[in-house]
Chains A and B, each alone.
Chain A
Amino acid sequence: MNDGPLIVQSDKTLLLEVDHPSAPEARKAIAPFAELERSPEHIHTYRLTPLGLWNARAAGHDAEQVVDALLTWSRYAVPHALLVDVAETMGRYGRLRLEKHPVHGLVLSSTDRPVLEEVLRAKKIAGMVGARLDDDSVAVHPSERGNLKQALLKIGWPAEDFAGYVDGEAHAIDLDQSSWTLRPYQTEAAQSFWDGGSGVVVLPCGAGKTLVGAAAMAHAQATTLILVTNTVSARQWKDELIARTSLTADEIGEYSGAVKEIRPVTIATYQVLTTKRKGVYAHLELLDARDWGLIVYDEVHLLPAPIFRMTANLQARRRLGLTATLVREDGREGEVFSLIGPKRYDAPWKDIEAQGYIAPADCVEVRVTLPDGERLAYATSDPDTRYRLASCTHAKIDVVRDLVRQHAGQPTLVIGQYIDQLDELAELLDAPVIKGETPVKERQRLFAAFRTGEIGLLVVSKVANFSIDLPSAEVAIQVSGSFGSRQEEAQRLGRLLRPKTEGRSAHFYTIVSRDTVDADFAQNRQRFLAEQGYAYRIIDAGDLTAEPS
């Protein structure tokens, strides 16, 4: 028996005992190939998945290293079947290669003939490849490069893409680091992306993903298309790029519902790209408008399915995906892998938090009891209105008021789902509200005022979930959410994780109605946060006044 910190389970999960003296070393050894699934206080759970192993393979790790790491750090003997499976899975990556051929253009080749035969016999693949060139290779039309990679991944033989990229139209971009410097992990992330060619960088919210994008652009020195989730975040990208790089406002274009500019660096929203007019995507030509040298996808985990299909045709261009989590609520992780690229860099929240780049957060669930009248209404209502009833109880409003009072002087966000509730809160707290119908200009003005400290309290709806930089927020109070989505929780917490002055920790309150469906959903959130390693407390609304802030 070995006294390692790692326990390898037969269902391919790895348990890492955090308090073990050699845990950090073991973590370092397994991080490249195992995906961190949850990280509560004592035992972190990693999972071995084919995608994870292929990601590792793409990053240059081989099966021997993986097996060795498992054997070295494992406390008990590692199940033999698991080792065999690891070796076999990793062996599958790279047996097929997509390569440039001087005569035939793009070629799918293999050193292992039976694999090529098997693959070519698959129905899905047959339509995508052209003529057989010789025993070991087959021609592929360049336009099928993405679809083929996607299909190959699905049948379990992911191809390694060696076909390279077009350089794109050159454009000088430099980082202007006179007043700031790139953090070490940002440099590292950009570098490993560039070395890998294409791929995804996973960094927690607030860790400065925009700067990784900027650094990647500086590597590329070429025209860049940046795809973001919404207009507000497009503007933020623009501001950030102007501030941090040699680019000027004239060089950066916005391509959104409102403005349609195509410049050397163009920032487009997902929304505009997926807009259909008469059944066709109206703005697809944007993708070919210039000879882009780099395409950046912000918040990859939200990438809409149509964009995946468009991306399939962009395989000759370098692609950088930025995200806080590879977890997609729709389970399309495989498509991110095959169409954008493998994971190139990953740093867990806690690590970056420990380095002081993001603020630690204190997560509290406040439980309120529904007044008797509302309880009865809740009990007799339809299941589909129950959540709304439970979320919008008036008992919550008093709690919000108490919390705001407790944290007076600290920049506070109140986040909710239901507009009526938000309006009511805004009125009661005498605070501005940002919701879907608020014009972009007004939103930006309010956000700017909040950042400067002019406004200390902001009531926001779902629109605030994504890519709005509010580094100064110290307290977030969540009154209702969309059915306990993990992604939403990550985003909301991300709002708070920007480093705070004087090292103060952020507070994240969730107000939950006891004994209702609201509490059930809260359990999902609670589990997510606990899995992410955040201290999680539950207090009763009645005890709130006694709670020191």
Chain B
Amino acid sequence: MHADADRVATALQRLLDLALAWEAPGGIRALSGVADAMRGMPGLVSGLRPSSPEPPEPDEVAALLAGLSPAATALLRHVDAHGGEGTTGSARRTVSPERAASPAEELISRRLLVPRDGDTVVLPGEVGLALRGGRTTTEPVDEVPGLATSARDAALVARTAAGAAFDVVRRVELLLDHWSVQPPSVLRSGGLAVRDLKAVARELHVDEAGAALIVEVAQSAGLIAEGNEPDGTPVWLPTEEFDVWSGRPTSERWARLVGGWLSSSRVPSLVGTRDPAGKSWNALAPELSSGLAEEARRLALRVLAELPDGEVLAVGTGTASLVQRVDWMRPRRPAIFADLVTAALGEAAVLGISGAGGLPPSGRRIAEDDLPGAAAAIDPQLPRPVEHVLLQADLTAVAPGPLETEVARRLHLLADVESRGGATVYRFSSGSLRRGFDAGWSALEVRDFLTAVSQTPVPQPLEFLVDDVARTFGSVRVGHAEAFLRADDEAALAALVHDPKARTLGLRLLAPTVAISTSPLDVLLPRLRELGAAPVVEAADGTVRVSRPDLQRARSRRGRRPAGAVEARRAAQVQAVATAIRVGDRAETSRPASATTTTPSGALAALRDAIEAGTTVVIGYVDNHGASGERVVDPRRLDGGRLSAFDHRADDVREFAVHRITGVRTA
């Protein structure tokens, strides 16, 4: 082994304890299954390759190796470095050292590579050992790879992490608020469309990878799920959990998100990249998961947690060194594991678990899987919710921190958000204030709210704006009516409106000379006449329409046919009648001659016979209208409950439903 002797002894003892190796008479041997299971792994374990049945002495091997050409040595080292197996291609298997033409043949002839089945050659264990100078690996394996670190103030680490944590919670909330109103549809393959992901990225001021992470984390935490729009389109919707989640303090919300991320098998880092088939991965696609993801995250955090406070991963080289360490700890993971670990580190930074490359106390709790502890640890670091905003003369309101939910909700109604982050900038405009009035606020309420919520006096321009909007709000009123009534005679109109008999017409006086009715004109008009009024109808342009209705007439039909058509048609009819009569005659003539089969099975048998014989039969048939009749047919095919037959009367092939055939007899 390329390792310290004591450590080797410890490791061996451990293997013996685990019964993965046993003390054979010839020395310690691995269980036969172990060697097979580890075959094909590059680099590290090729020392465990089985030796030849009768291995030559190490000296001999060394001598053979010394006698090789440089090209052959290089090839041998390459095979060794890549798992001790290779394919030979065109190299001949049996060749003497003198006649070897290529490096591969040279090696085979000296039995430094041994042909196995097919065109595979293997490197015998003793050759590999000799090649590496008597050791199992070229690199030392007992040294734990170090981490590249640098010093960083622990307070800064905590602040950076808290900032990121706050950001991610805010973004998830923003995203789901947005999706509550405009949910994106679920792709047929189950994911989120690239276009929708781009929209998310724009909305949240992040890049697409960041957007994918937010979306995936929200899903892992159970805050979004597939739902349906009223019209049945499947869409991504916030779950009911989201409502509960929104009401919790930021730190708990964060812990929930992180917990979801930590134990999920999703791989958000793949979003936007292409799978081996060249199809790009969509966020939320069901296949976007890996059984290794969770282990990669936990391992990455565990290693990170080993760093003492005040020490963080170095910028640039730190991540690579951590990946190397994890690789040493878990040598038998597939190559994607390293990518997963790298991604996990990046995601941990975005989610505020780590900050500036180190773990703050909250992150350490996460690494220990203590979510409530983590929430408690990060809580003091997060911005306190504020209840007040600063109102300014340029019609903006600035909340210098996260606003209390209730205040935020109200402010949201009255103003538009202009900028988000640690603080929120709102802008008042006539449009946004009108929204408030639409929701039932009065100018007084708006002003009271602003006074209550503002730390500073309400600026005069804002007061003017509120008054301006209040003044014009509702100055035009719109309603629904089926008809209107106009009269110059105010008294007559008033009398009509107040007439108890007119109550059902739904009349309402808008002005002394104008009333509206909820009854349509065609109901209103006769009723008004009954009530003794003599109304005239006004057209849309205000002109009076004469009450006498136009006499109604249909257009006379004018059909012109070419002269010969009538004769031709008649001739065809005559022909058809003649044919029908003749067929009828035949049916008549054949009737007494043969017995009619009326049982369904008999009918089917008779039809099959007729098909085989190619004869003509008469069938009793009930048509679509329930009328029964007889047809003279030549059956052609019978399947699926349908008979296909040449109908003599129609002079064409027709289909008949078998269950409607009442009887069959030969013609």
Q: Assess the A77–B419 pair: CB atoms within 8 A.
A: no
- CB-based nearest B residue for A76: B422
Q: Are B398 and A43 in contact (CB under 8 A)?
A: yes
Asked if B52 CB lies within 8 Å of chain A CBs, one says no
Query: Contact partner of B421 among A8, A38, A80, A535, CB < 8 A?
Result: A8
A10-B421, A42-B390, A77-B164 are known contacts. Are A15 and B461 too (CB-CB below 8 A)? no
> Chain B 395-428 against A: per-residue CB contact (8 Å), 1 yes, 0 no?
1101011000000000000000001111101000
Tell me how far the C-beta of B401 lies from the nearest C-beta in chain A, rounded to whole angstroms: 8
B587 to chain A, nearest CB (A): 86
Which A residues are in CB contact (< 8 Å) with B156? 71
**A346 is an interface residue with CB less than 8 A from chain B:** no
Q: A11 to B396: give the CA distance in the assembly, Å.
A: 17
Q: Is the CB of B394 within 8 A of A527?
A: yes
Q: Is there an interface contact between A40 and B163, defined as CB atoms closer than 8 Å?
A: no
Distance between Cα atoms of A454 and B381 in the complex (Å):
66
Q: Which of A6-29 contact B (CB under 8 A)?
A: 7-11, 13, 15, 17
Q: Is the pair B390, A9 in contact by a Cβ cutoff of 8 Å? A: no
The proximity string for B residues 186-205 relative to A, scoring 1 for CB distances below 8 Å and 0 otherwise, is: 00000000000000000001
B159 at the interface (CB under 8 A from A): yes
Highest count of chain B CB atoms <10 Å: which of A8, A17, A42, A536: A42
Tell me the chain B residues, 232-251 only, with Cβ under 8 Å from chain A.
Answer: none
The answer to whether B460 touches A538 (Cβ under 8 A) is yes
Asked whether any CB of chain A lies closer than 8 Å to the CB of B160, the reply is yes
Interface residues as binary, A500-529 with B (CB distance below 8 Å gives 1, 0 otherwise): 000000000000000100010000001100
Nearest Cβ on chain B to A136's Cβ, whole angstroms: 24
Establish whether residues B398 and A9, one from each chain, have CB atoms under 8 Å apart when the complex forms: no
**Chain A interfacial residues counted at CB < 8 A:** 35
Residues in A whose Cβ lies below 8 Å from that of B381:
1
Whether, in the assembled complex, B321 has its beta carbon less than 8 Å from a beta carbon of chain A, the answer is no
Chain A contacts for B383, CB-based, 8 A: 1, 75-76
A65 contacts the other chain (CB 8 A): no
Mask for B203-225, Cβ within 8 A of A = 1, else 0? Answer: 00111001000000000000000
Residues of A near B207 (CB, < 8 A) are 81
**CB interface residues, A 55-88, toward B, < 8 Å:** 71, 74-81
Query: What CA separation (Å) do A29 and B242 show in the bound complex?
Result: 41
A531: CB under 8 A from chain B?
yes
Q: Of all chain A residues, which has the CB nearest B164?
A: A80
Task: Tell me the residues in window 267-305 of chain A with beta carbons closer than 8 Å to chain B beta carbons.
Answer: none
- Are A530 and B392 neighbours in the complex by a CB distance under 8 Å? yes
Question: B393 near A: Cβ within 8 Å?
Answer: yes
Bound CA span A17–B398, Å:
10
Q: Is A79 a contact partner of B398 (Cβ separation < 8 A)?
A: no
Q: Is B573 an interface residue (CB 8 A)?
A: no
Q: B160-178 CB contact bits vs A (8 Å, 1 = yes)?
A: 1111101100000000000
Q: Is the CB of A538 within 8 A of B390?
A: no
Q: Does B472 contact A (CB under 8 A)?
A: yes
In the complex, residue of chain B having the shortest beta-carbon distance to the beta carbon of A540: B464
Residue B270 is within 8 A (CB to CB) of chain A in the complex? no
Contact A42 B392 (CB under 8 A): yes
On chain A, the residues within 8 Å of B382 by CB distance are 1
Which residue from B159, B425, B459 sits with its C-beta under 8 Å from A77? B159
Q: Tell whether A2 is near chain B: CB-to-CB under 8 Å.
A: yes
Q: How far is the CA of A244 from the CA of B478 in the complex (A)?
A: 69
- Give the residue name and chain of the B residue nearest to A81 (CB): B206
Cβ of A491 within 8 Å of any chain B Cβ, yes or no, is no
Q: Is the interface of B mostly helix, strand, loop or mixed?
A: mixed
B349 on interface, CB distance cutoff 8 Å? yes
A9 touches B420 (CB 8 A): yes
CB atoms of A81 and B210 under 8 A apart: yes
**Closest Cβ neighbor of A536 among chain B residues:** B393
With A9-B421, A11-B419, A76-B383 as known contacts, state yes or no: A40 contacts B393, CB within 8 Å: yes
Is A15 touching B423 in the complex (CB atoms < 8 A)? yes
Which residues of B sit under 8 angstroms from A17, Cβ to Cβ?
400
A41 pairs with B461, CB closer than 8 A = no
Asked, given contacts A17-B400, A80-B349, whether A9 binds B456 with beta carbons under 8 Å apart, the answer is: no
Q: Decide if A75 touches B398 in the complex (CB within 8 Å).
A: no
CB distance from B326 to the nearest CB of A (A): 23
| A306–B390 alpha-carbon span in the complex (Å) | 45
Known: A9-B422, A75-B422, A527-B395. A43 touches B464 (CB 8 A): no
A10 touches B420 (CB 8 A): yes
A81 / chain B contacts, CB cutoff of 8 Å: 205-207, 210
Report if A526-B421 is in contact (Cβ < 8 Å); known contacts: A2-B159, A77-B164, A80-B164: no
- Chain B: minimal CB distance from A302 (Å): 25
Distance (whole angstroms) from the CB of A483 to the closest CB of chain B: 18
Minimal Cβ-Cβ distance residue in A for B402: A76
Interfacial residues of chain B within 129-168, with CB under 8 A of chain A in the complex: 156, 159-164, 166-167
Residue interface mask B313-330, A partner, CB < 8 A = 1: 000000000000000000
Name which residue of chain A comes closest to B380, CB basis: A1
Min Cβ gap B218→A in Å is 18
Contact residues in A for B419 (Cβ distance below 8 Å): 9, 11, 13, 15, 45
Contacting residue for A526 out of B167, B396, B420, B461, CB 8 A? B461
- A537 at interface by CB-CB < 8 Å: yes
Q: In the assembly, what is the distance between CA of A10 and CA of B170, in Å?
A: 11
* Contact indicator A530/B422 (Cβ below 8 Å): no
Question: Most A CB atoms within 10 A — which of B380, B381, B420, B459?
Answer: B459
Please name the residue on chain A nearest to B383 by beta carbon.
A76
Bound complex: CA A429 to CA B143 (Å): 96
CB distance from B479 to the nearest CB of A (A): 22
* Binary flags per residue of B369-401, CB closer than 8 Å to A gives 1, else 0: 000000000001111100000101111101011
Can you list 13 A-B contacts with CB-CB less than 8 angstroms, sorted by A residue number? A1-B380, A9-B422, A11-B205, A40-B393, A41-B456, A42-B390, A43-B390, A43-B392, A71-B156, A75-B383, A79-B164, A80-B350, A538-B460
**Interface positions of A (Cβ within 8 A of B):** 1-2, 7-11, 13, 15, 17, 38, 40-43, 45, 71, 74-81, 515, 519, 526-527, 530-531, 535-538
Q: Which 3 interchain pairs have the tightest Cβ spacing?
A: A77-B163, A9-B421, A76-B422
Name 19 extra pairs, CB < 8 A, besides A75-B401, A515-B472, A537-B460. A1-B162, A7-B400, A7-B423, A10-B421, A11-B421, A13-B425, A41-B393, A42-B456, A43-B390, A76-B421, A77-B160, A77-B163, A77-B167, A78-B163, A526-B394, A527-B395, A530-B392, A531-B394, A535-B393
